[in-house]
Amino acid sequence: MSATSSLITGVDFVSVPTRDLAAAMTFYGETLRLPRSMYIEGKPFAEYETGSLTIGVMEPDKMGLEYAPNRNHIALHVDDVAAAREALEARGVSFEGETFDTGVCHMAFFSDPDGNALMLHHRYAPRESQA
């Protein structure tokens, strides 16, 4: 590896902890309707695809790790936050407050059954350069 090449070349997945894998699989697979790409019966994890990032739902206690829900929101891209929120509310998802408009994007905050923070996100205006 040269001095100018990057050691890290991407993000393969983000881990989302659960204490109940079956309930988490129902939430990510049925409620959010994300396609499951990996699950082996008896293993303490399953993976779901978002199109740009794999969400690895895992039972850390069964892997020798400490359980702690993620309180930093994973921003899930949607084309229409209002429509996606309405669909998820119809499936029993509760949101935290009203949809937030930053002036460039809409965000709607919610959590999975384990308290892991998620949000629906849609950028409707281009990013301005900070250079």
Q: What is the residue-averaged pLDDT of the chain?
A: 94
Q: What is the CATH number of domain 13-123?
A: 3.10.180.10
- Whether the predicted pLDDT of 1 surpasses 70: no
Q: What is the structure's pLDDT at 2? A: 62
Averaged pLDDT, 41-62: 96
- What is the C-alpha separation between 63 and 97, in angstroms, rounded? 35
Give the rounded percent of residues in the chain with a pLDDT score beyond 90: 89
**What pLDDT, in 10s, does the model give residues 60-99?**
999 999 999 999 999 999 999 999 999 999 999 999 999 9
Give 105's Cβ-side CA count (13 Å radius). 15
Q: Which position has the higher pLDDT, 128 or 130?
A: 128
Q: Which residue type occupies 76?
A: L
**What pLDDT, in 10s, does the model give residues 19-36?**
999 999 999 999 999 999
